[in-house]
């Protein structure tokens, strides 16, 4: 009977859906296992073959865990808010919800046809009001809490208000940005607006003026990864840096806990390093520099090297620093304004990448070195970022490469203050680069001279503290997250404004639904799209916030909602959270290392502080799948002509390689007529043939529509079947590595499944007990596949299946019991064919709920081996010998062999050397 994979796969998918085969509930009698894929954004293009890589891997692992007796939660949903749907709405007028609905339907159809075992009863979108109600609910808790550094956890803001009422600000242990002090009497005399401005310095969700990437054409703030070279990635519109009032989350309050928590996680060291670097813990000192002509105004800097303070020869402020405007002299103003305008067109990421080409402008003002009293020029430079440290640096060009480059560019002085041990100071004018010393002796530094770097850091901090001009401090690179966007398609922020004061809505007002608007673009006055809504007011008539939440809001706690998606009284019920606890295996891309993975860990720790979840960390084990790259094809046009030569002739003349749709190419041979039909440009083109065909060139590149190398999984499933696609994607290589897609190689996997089908339904399968040879093949395969799945080495598992089938076929027969266990092993990888063959063999129950087989070490030890026999050290023949025999037994067996007598040719045996279970050497 033919292997009709189309009929088989559709039938089993329908049956499993009808049975709710993957539906799961809390079951305290069984161990839990929670497998999760990173939330996909449902784009209009649907999936290409690179997208399912992680989904297939997680599905294999989920099925494996079920077969091992675990109660497995494996849900799927959609991160549905986002700019693409909104831009489409602006262009067409179609509501983003309708676009999203269509895209989700397309995604789900593609995911279902792959046979992925998701519990679809838990499906939701972040744009569902029943879901974003809880995103809004968490936001209100963030607004209502602050971080207490003594308790090392979040506490209600009302507690801080009570402290201020009794003690004022002195002695409070709240993490925040308050730069002034007040008494209890002053607090009690504050107006409601003054109190709120003070509390905003401590709330975990707060409003603040911050620098953002503003795109006028899109009418919204963009994240750094949405901007390149001063324009938006979507549409290529100009983007500038602008100071705007935005909602923010005080993620920085949790920096130390986020850092320490990494030590408890089963994440790759490379990913942990990315997060450590992003959090960026630095130990050093805060130093206050006075400014000449500006009494009472200090320029605060943070440095990890206070020992080099004597070597400061200039200061540099970030272009966004609040003092730039007030300390720039009239003579420098025009040049400064022009510079700030240029810098505003570049993102912080771009500025960081180009530190070797420093730019800057002198403010005209001077700071005062707190240790030497000397005047230091204050510059503005774009390599200093407003959000890192204090947004200002003390420049020590002799010992920092960026400062050295800046000093050389603008002819600023360089003073050496650190010497390598055993060396003498030299003239920095002769240096080609800075001496970035990690160890050495301090020189040219007054009372610090002769001290080691470590001793000088400690002594410098003591001096600064004694003078009231600074002291030791720990700081972090991690910045608070901007939490508002001037867009329509996002979660409304549940805040109204009473007399201009941000006021939280009641829980009973949630979800605050997106309103109807007449257009999805900003108003003529530049206000966000929600300002277009009629009566956009709270129940009491107060104006509502018109910004919406950013894209990461909905994905920050979705893993918790999957535990209990239909709960109406909480984000997740205590019963469900206590059972599922955390995600045991999380699979997704490295691009989320410093975004989603930071924010979701922050949200989880906050909810843990409130006692709403039982685990401090959300994702126990995290694996980043590699990328499936596209295999592009090229045709080669001879420059200045409409003539195309094959790849073999492409370097013999001057040609231009042109991408061609891979769907028009098979085994690198171009379908010329199909190309002509698809593009009139090639109607009259001349194609030079070799052996009657045009052979294309190829290259491995990122899979992209612009390179015409996107492979649609639908066409692969239709041609080869879902099981073939699943196994082939795993067969391509290790999960965590990037690898090229090559449709030419899929035939091998398809032929393997077809051979499995034919073999299982052939006369080779017999009832009765398995032979020892079968059991050795089976148990070797069980061990290889089990260990392979545990370490996510799925490519090796597929190889093991192929080897096992070859060996079983060589045995000229196989017991049904052996094949039954083999089908259980194959089921996670190719569930449809496994289920069909299970049924055709008349086996009881379902292969989905069978028990995972265990291997027996006894069958992994070979009973015999091919023993080589040498004469005077030269190997002459080999024979099959039982393992474990002693030397005397082996000697007797070998000497009795006809081949031995033939090679002895009557010569006497002087000695027989036996290396047990290895080799025999006859000395004659």
Question: How many other β-carbons are positioned within 10 Å of the β-carbon of residue 250?
Answer: 26
Distance CA 749, CA 752 (A): 5
Taking Cα atoms as reference points, which of 145, 392, 389 lies closest to residue 249? 145
Question: Which DSSP symbol is given to 857?
Answer: G
Beta bridge partners of 544: 496
Peptide bond into 712 cis (omega under 30): no
Distance CA 502, CA 380 (A): 35
Specify whether the CB–CB gap between 117 and 110 falls below 8 A.
Answer: no
* Parallel, antiparallel or unpaired: strands 32-37 and 643-645: unpaired
Specify whether the CB–CB gap between 9 and 722 falls below 8 A.
Answer: yes
Beta bridge partners of 473: 284
Look at residue 657 and give its three-state secondary structure.
Answer: strand
Q: Does an H or E element contain 875, and which?
A: strand 874-882
Specify whether the CB–CB gap between 668 and 633 falls below 8 A.
Answer: yes
The structure tokens listed for 259 are: 């850092």
| CB-based contacts of 375, cutoff 8 Å, min separation 6 | 292, 366, 367, 368, 369
- Cα separation of the two ends of the chain: 62
Question: Which DSSP symbol is given to 516?
Answer: P
Look at residue 714 and give its three-state secondary structure.
Answer: helix
The structure tokens listed for 670 are: 């171009």
Q: Would you call 722 exposed, middle or buried from its count of C-beta atoms within 10 A (0-12, 13-18, 19+)?
A: buried
660-684 per-residue burial string, b: 16 or more CB within 10 A, e: under 16: bbbbbbeebbbbbeebbeeeeebee
Distance CA 579, CA 26 (A): 7
Specify whether the CB–CB gap between 163 and 195 falls below 8 A.
Answer: no
- Asked if residue 705 belongs to a known ligand binding site, the reply is yes
238: left (phi over 0), alpha (psi -120 to 50) or beta: beta
Distance CA 791, CA 736 (A): 11
Look at residue 891 and give its three-state secondary structure.
Answer: helix
Specify whether the CB–CB gap between 514 and 547 falls below 8 A.
Answer: no
Look at residue 827 and give its three-state secondary structure.
Answer: coil
Taking Cα atoms as reference points, which of 585, 582, 618, 693 lies closest to residue 648? 693
Distance CA 398, CA 420 (A): 13
The structure tokens listed for 720 are: 């080869």
CA angle 374, 444, 401 (to 5 degrees): 85
Question: How many other β-carbons are positioned within 10 Å of the β-carbon of residue 780?
Answer: 17
Distance CA 488, CA 513 (A): 11
| CB-based contacts of 200, cutoff 8 Å, min separation 6 | 206, 207, 208
Specify whether the CB–CB gap between 600 and 28 falls below 8 A.
Answer: no
Specify whether the CB–CB gap between 862 and 834 falls below 8 A.
Answer: no
Distance CA 665, CA 678 (A): 13
Distance CA 804, CA 810 (A): 10
Look at residue 152 and give its three-state secondary structure.
Answer: coil
Annotated binding site: 705
Annotated binding site for ATP: 705
């Amino acid at each position: 009977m033919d292997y009709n994979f189309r009929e088989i796969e559709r039938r089993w998918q329908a049956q499993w859906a009808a049975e709710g085969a993957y539906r799961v509930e809390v079951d305290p009698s069984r161990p839990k296992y929670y497998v999760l894929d990173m939330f996909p954004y449902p784009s209009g293009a649907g999936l290409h073959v690179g997208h399912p890589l992680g989904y297939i891997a997680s599905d294999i692992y989920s099925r494996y865990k079920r077969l091992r007796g675990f109660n497995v939660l494996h849900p799927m949903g959609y991160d549905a808010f986002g700019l693409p749907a909104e831009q489409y709405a602006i262009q067409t007028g179609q509501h983003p919800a309708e676009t999203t609905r269509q895209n989700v339907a397309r995604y789900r159809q593609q995911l279902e046809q792959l046979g992925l075992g998701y519990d679809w009863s838990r499906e939701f979108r972040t744009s569902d009001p029943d879901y974003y109600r809880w995103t809004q609910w968490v936001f209100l808790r963030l607004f209502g809490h602050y971080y207490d550094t003594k308790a090392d956890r979040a506490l209600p803001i009302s507690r801080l208000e009570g402290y201020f009422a009794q003690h004022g600000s002195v002695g409070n242990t709240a993490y925040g940005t308050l730069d002034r002090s007040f008494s209890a009497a002053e607090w009690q005399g504050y107006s409601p607006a003054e109190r709120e401005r003070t509390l905003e310095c401590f709330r975990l969700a707060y409003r603040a003026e911050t620098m953002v990437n503003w795109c006028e054409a899109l009418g919204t703030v963009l994240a750094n990864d949405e901007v390149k070279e001063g324009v938006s990635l979507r549409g290529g519109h100009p983007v500038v840096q602008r100071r705007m009032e935005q909602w923010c989350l005080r993620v920085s309050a949790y920096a130390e806990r986020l850092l320490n928590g990494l030590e408890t996680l089963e994440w790759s060291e490379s990913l942990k390093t990315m997060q450590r670097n992003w959090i960026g813990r630095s130990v050093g000192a805060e130093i206050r520099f006075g400014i000449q002509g500006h009494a009472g105004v200090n320029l605060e800097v943070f440095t990890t090297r206070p020992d080099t303070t004597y070597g400061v020869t200039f200061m540099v402020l970030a272009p966004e620093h609040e003092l730039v405007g007030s300390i720039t002299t009239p003579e420098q103003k025009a040049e400064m304004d022009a510079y700030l305008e240029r810098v505003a067109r570049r993102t912080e990421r771009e500025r960081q990448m180009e530190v070797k080409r420093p730019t800057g402008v002198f403010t005209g003002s001077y700071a005062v070195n707190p240790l030497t009293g000397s005047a230091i020029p204050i510059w503005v430079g774009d390599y200093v970022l407003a959000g890192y440290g204090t947004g200002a640096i003390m420049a020590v060009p002799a010992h920092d490469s960026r400062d050295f480059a800046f000093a050389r560019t603008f002819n600023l002085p360089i003073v050496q203050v650190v010497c390598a041990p055993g060396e003498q100071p030299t003239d920095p004018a002769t240096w080609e680069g800075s001496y970035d010393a990690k160890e050495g002796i301090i020189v040219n530094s007054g009372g610090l001279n002769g001290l080691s770097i470590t001793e000088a850091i400690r002594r410098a901090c003591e001096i600064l503290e004694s003078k009231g001009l600074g002291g030791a401090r720990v700081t972090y690179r991690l910045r608070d997250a901007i939490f508002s966007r001037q867009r329509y398609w996002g979660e409304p922020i549940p805040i109204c404004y009473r007399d201009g004061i941000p006021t939280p809505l009641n829980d009973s007002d949630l979800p605050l639904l997106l309103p109807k608007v007449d257009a999805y673009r900003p108003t003529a006055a530049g206000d966000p799209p929600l300002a277009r809504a009629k009566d956009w007011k709270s129940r009491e008539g107060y104006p509502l916030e018109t910004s919406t939440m950013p894209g990461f809001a909905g994905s920050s706690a979705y893993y918790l909602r999957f535990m209990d998606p239909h709960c109406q009284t909480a984000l997740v019920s205590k019963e469900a959270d206590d059972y599922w606890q955390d995600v045991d295996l999380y699979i997704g891309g490295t691009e989320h290392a410093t975004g989603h993975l930071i924010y979701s860990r922050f949200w989880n720790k906050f909810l843990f502080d409130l006692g709403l979840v039982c685990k401090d960390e959300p994702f126990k084990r995290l694996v980043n799948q590699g990328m499936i790259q596209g295999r592009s094809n090229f045709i080669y046009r001879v420059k200045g002509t409409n003539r195309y030569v094959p790849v073999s002739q492409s370097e013999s003349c001057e040609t231009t390689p042109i991408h061609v749709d891979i769907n028009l190419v098979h085994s690198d041979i171009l379908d010329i007529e199909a190309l002509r039909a698809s593009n009139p440009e090639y109607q009259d083109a001349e194609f030079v043939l070799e052996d009657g065909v045009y052979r294309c060139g190829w290259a491995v590149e990122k899979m992209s529509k612009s390179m015409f190398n996107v492979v649609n999984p639908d066409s692969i499933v239709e041609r080869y079947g879902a099981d073939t696609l699943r196994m082939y994607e795993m067969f391509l290589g290790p999960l965590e590595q990037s690898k090229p897609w090559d449709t030419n190689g899929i035939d091998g996997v398809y032929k393997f499944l077809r051979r499995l089908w034919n073999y299982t339904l052939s006369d080779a399968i017999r009832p009765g007990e398995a032979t020892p040879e079968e059991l050795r093949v089976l148990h070797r395969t069980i061990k290889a596949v089990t260990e392979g799945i545990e370490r996510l080495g799925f490519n090796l598992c597929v190889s093991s299946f192929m080897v096992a089938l070859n060996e079983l076929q060589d045995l000229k027969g196989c017991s049904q019991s052996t094949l039954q266990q083999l089908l259980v092993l194959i089921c996670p990888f190719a569930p449809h064919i496994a289920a069909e063959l299970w049924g055709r063999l008349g086996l009881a129950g379902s292969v989905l709920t069978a028990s995972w087989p265990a291997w027996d070490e006894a069958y992994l030890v070979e009973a015999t081996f091919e023993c080589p026999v040498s004469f005077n050290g030269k190997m002459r023949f080999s024979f099959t010998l039982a393992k474990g025999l002693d030397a005397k037994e082996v000697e007797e067996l070998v000497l009795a062999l006809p081949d031995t007598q033939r090679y002895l040719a009557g010569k006497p045996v002087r000695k027989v050397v036996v290396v047990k279970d290895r080799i025999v050497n006859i000395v004659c």
